[in-house]
Amino acid sequence: MPVFDNTNFLVIDESQNREGEAGGSSAAEIGRLISENGGRATFCDPAGCFGFIDQHKITHVITETAGFADEAAATETMVPVTTGKWVWDSVALAQKRNYRLYAPSPAPFMDKVVVCVADNVAQGDKDTIYAGVRAFGGQYLDALLRYTTHLVALDLTNNKLVVAANIRRKDTGDICIVLPHWIDACVRQQRHVLETPYLLSNPKVLQTGKPDFSADGGEPAPEISKLAHTLVLAHKSVYLADDFAVYLADDFAFSEHLRAAIVSLIETLGGTVQHQFDLGHIDVYIGKHRLGAQFQQCFAAPRIDVASLHWLFHIATQGHYIRPLESNVLHFPIPTRGVPQFQNLRISITGISGDARHYLAGLIAAMGGTFTKTLDCNNDYLVCAQRLGDKYHAAHLRWPDVRLVNHLWIEECFSTWLFLDATDSRYASISSLTQPLGKTRLSRTSLEGTSLAEHIIPLDVDDSVGDSMAEQDGAERFAGSASLSPVMQSPKTQSPAIQPPAPPSPLPVARFSSFKTAENSQLTDFTQENSKTPDIFTPSPGEVVVVDTTSLSSPVTSQVRAGRSAKAKASLKLHSDMKDLNQYTSMSKSSRKMKSYMEQLEKTATPSKKKRESADASEPEPVQPTPKKQKTDTEVHLVAILTGCEQILTLTKSDVSKLLKVGIRIVNDYNPKKHIDTIVAPRVLRTEKFLKSLSKAQKIVHPSFLSDILSRHTLTSLSWSELIKEFNIEDYLLDKVVPVKQINDDLGVSGKASGLQRLLSQDLPPVFKGYALNFSLNLVGGADLISSILREHGLSDSKTVKFTAGTRKSGLLSMDGGTTILVAHKTKDKKAASKIEGVTVVEWEWCVKSIFHKKAQEYESYII
């Protein structure tokens, strides 16, 4: 399937505004690339595209700079806005990339930031940090991976910090370990603040007691709110009106430093914060839940806007004021009780990615349902954008119990807080005529009818990166195929209902309308816990800094005072842990020191149990070594590698273990020295794993083979012969599940017979045996990656060259017959290719089609 199949692009042609600039791709080049890969492009200049998104059913906007005329509509409907480089990279990798990594200029201040928060930070602070980071252009992962850029922690007493040090050592990447105060400073100043004063190893922010530092990390910045206000207004076209009075509800259990950051942000936007509830002096009430007397009084006063923290972040990023009930449904506080019928529902999504997917997942979780990234036969609903994709076909053809609905069903269930009939034609219709996502609004009538006698359902923290690293169904994500699949889910246990006082009589209406309107955004809501801020100290010169910041965000759970002895022990333990960690980090940088340390450890290690037994015995006897328990090796009958399966199947460690027990070994990455006989993929792909594994694989099976096996409750009791009899692998071969025509189209093969038969033949020699190829530096993905793929298919020698008009045949590798082949970029190397003589210059497609045909193709169709 083409990368941009059924995708409508709006390409902003900025050529008139960029005359004389070097580099970049023209709108025409981008349009051609989109068309060649199945998409449709509509072109327009930045000022003349107003209304195009709705008129042309646009799904993606391509622009190098923000500020085009229809940007508000893109924000409202959560249409991805990205750059031309995203198009090039998506085509090169044969899958839609995470568009949030390709932000148009000016990029948001959290651009390229991927945050992970340590487990000892209060849940309320953690959720708010994640929401803020995502709102201002960053992403988050609640598990530490090599993609994490910042770990937010309070002290050294957490496992994630040790893991972060290990990741930094192995992958030579720097994970900044910072205090939550760094996030606070970024929010206050509305810019990416230098991390140095906030590093946990030397937290100047705590030593000085100053919350903000200058851009270079030096002295604390004076009058930071005025500075931030100036910085914000420099990037906004509309000056926000001053002195709108905001009241932050008590159901936000922020830590003191985080609450101060939110207050500062409000002041930065031109508002003031009311610390005492006074209905007559409040213009905006910001709360988490639709609960309590204060909420009811403010909601009953039409002049007061009742909003959520999502709304505050939204107007901060957009630079416009908009009333919450006239924007995104998440811009209003949510009920504290889920929709009862949603409690046990498992709901997955297909054809919707990025912010839109994150938004729908938040609605599902808020109503009490479970959002699953993957689809299996246990799902109840699949939200579809179109009748395409592996998930759709699996639900439609294999699992009739999975009900298909459009996004409108989720949005209107949320807006009415009712379980609506999914068989209604408005929700069962899956077509482009459905109301665009993000257009649903809350009505005051439905809100007044919502019961307020509710109990709280906290939301689990989900990752913002996992869903969006690759957009399309079946695309391969960065985290690997055999990884955990986080879900957004509400707990099964519920607290007793809280009965609030009856709402007061309506107050006189005085419409609050001193702000201009704009569009909406989306975030997830958060769960808060009480916390407090510790005293600030200044260490003496030369003293080892040990910062006990546990109380910064930890909830106060007891009034019993801990003894001084216990406190002293804890302090010593923390000091010792920090010293050990520093020593270990230092040693890990030197292989000689680490080797010496391990040898010393082996010599000094003495089993304490044997010592005690020897001391207690009246007559010492020779100690017999306890025989080690022999590990029984399970016979392996099938070794498989997964690629592009994430939208259908994501394996947990438990799943991998179960499969191994019945004779199926799953490998995460391709290794030329290890055996692989099976590729598990939903279709013919062009990923690195797929292309390399074709050199060894004997069969390609659909991921439903593994998902059906894992759905069997008594799996481990089966022998291999019983398993194969019940789940005949021949029935799951890719050309038995996917139409042969689609497979042949993807392979570029003609005829009615499946092209997989020749592709998987082990009798044919390697495609590139005896070939010596040259690779241009301009190749997307890198010459080294392409060379490594072709070496698995017999490539003898290769050379990477900077292909220019001055490149000559004498500087290139030639084959025995004198033929010189240069694999180059179809567009970027076109000019140089026209001037070189005696060299056959072909595009990367020649290599791919040669692999798919199991035979080197003629050059003519691929010459640049």
Which strand (E) or helix (H) includes residue 170? Answer: helix 159-171
Radius of gyration of the chain (CA): 30
CATH of the domain at 252: 3.40.50.10190
Q: How confident is the model at residue 576 (pLDDT cuts 50, 70, 90)?
A: low
More confident residue, 430 or 519: 430
User: Nearest 5°: phi and psi at 491?
Assistant: -70, 155
Determine how many CB atoms are found less than 10 A away from the CB of residue 243.
Answer: 9
Q: How confident is the model at residue 701 (pLDDT cuts 50, 70, 90)?
A: very high
pLDDT at 721: 86
Q: Tell me: do 35 and 130 sit in the same domain.
A: no
Calculate the CA dihedral of residues 785, 787, 788, 790 and round it to 10 degrees: 120
Nearest-angstrom CA–CA distance, 644 and 687: 8
791 occurs within a structural domain? yes
The predicted-structure confidence for 746-790, as pLDDT tens digits, reads as follows 999 888 889 998 999 888 899 999 999 999 988 888 888 899 999
The predicted-structure confidence for 219-278, as pLDDT tens digits, reads as follows 444 333 343 444 444 444 333 455 689 999 988 878 888 899 999 999 888 889 999 999
502 occurs within a structural domain? no
Q: Tell me: do 324 and 262 sit in the same domain.
A: yes
CB-CB contact of 524 with 459 (8 Å): yes
Query: What is the span of the domain harbouring residue 142?
Result: 114-207
> Among the three residues 80, 101, 122, which one is the final residue of a domain in this structure?
101
Nearest-angstrom CA–CA distance, 750 and 648: 29
Q: Tell me: do 777 and 823 sit in the same domain.
A: yes
614 occurs within a structural domain? no
Nearest-angstrom CA–CA distance, 704 and 400: 15
**Helices of type H across 344-461:** 354-366, 390-393, 407-416, 425-428, 444-448
Nearest-angstrom CA–CA distance, 722 and 718: 6
Nearest-angstrom CA–CA distance, 40 and 52: 14
Write out the two tokens for 760: 């998987």
Determine how many CB atoms are found less than 10 A away from the CB of residue 721.
Answer: 10
pLDDT at 308: 94
pLDDT at 597: 61
Nearest-angstrom CA–CA distance, 722 and 724: 6
Determine how many CB atoms are found less than 10 A away from the CB of residue 59.
Answer: 24
Q: Tell me: do 80 and 152 sit in the same domain.
A: no
Secondary structure (H, E, C), 517-537: CCCCCCCCCCCCCCCCCCCCC
Q: Tell me: do 645 and 752 sit in the same domain.
A: yes
Sign of CA dihedral 806, 812, 814, 820: negative
Q: How confident is the model at residue 413 (pLDDT cuts 50, 70, 90)?
A: very high
Which strand (E) or helix (H) includes residue 299? Answer: helix 293-300
**DSSP E strand boundaries for 365-451:** 370-371, 381-384, 403-405
Q: Tell me: do 314 and 370 sit in the same domain.
A: no
543 occurs within a structural domain? no
Least confident interval from 329-343, 551-565, 628-642, 735-749: 551-565
Q: Tell me: do 647 and 746 sit in the same domain.
A: yes
pLDDT at 406: 95
CB-CB contact of 522 with 361 (8 Å): no
pTM over 0.95: no
Does residue 400 have a pLDDT over 80?
A: yes
Q: Tell me: do 651 and 755 sit in the same domain.
A: yes
Sequence-ordered list of residues with C-beta below 8 angstroms from that of 88, at least 6 positions apart, any chain: 25, 33, 780
The predicted-structure confidence for 493-520, as pLDDT tens digits, reads as follows 333 333 333 333 333 333 233 333 333 3
Q: What is the mean pLDDT of residues 829-837?
A: 89
> Among the three residues 385, 415, 448, which one is the final residue of a domain in this structure?
448
Q: How confident is the model at residue 21 (pLDDT cuts 50, 70, 90)?
A: very low
Q: Tell me: do 749 and 779 sit in the same domain.
A: no
Q: How confident is the model at residue 129 (pLDDT cuts 50, 70, 90)?
A: very high
First to last CA, the chain: 24
**Residue found by looking up tokens 């109990």 in the block:** 455
Residue type (1 letter), 364: I
Q: How confident is the model at residue 8 (pLDDT cuts 50, 70, 90)?
A: very high
Q: Tell me: do 789 and 745 sit in the same domain.
A: no
CB-CB contact of 279 with 299 (8 Å): no
458 occurs within a structural domain? no
> Among the three residues 268, 300, 331, which one is the final residue of a domain in this structure?
331
Q: Tell me: do 793 and 698 sit in the same domain.
A: no
**DSSP E strand boundaries for 729-796:** 772-776
Q: Tell me: do 191 and 264 sit in the same domain.
A: no
496 occurs within a structural domain? no
Burial class (CB in 10 A: 0-12, 13-18, 19+), 306: buried
Nearest-angstrom CA–CA distance, 486 and 840: 49
DSSP code of residue 195: S
pLDDT at 424: 93
Does residue 540 have a pLDDT over 80?
A: no
Report the domain count for the chain: 6
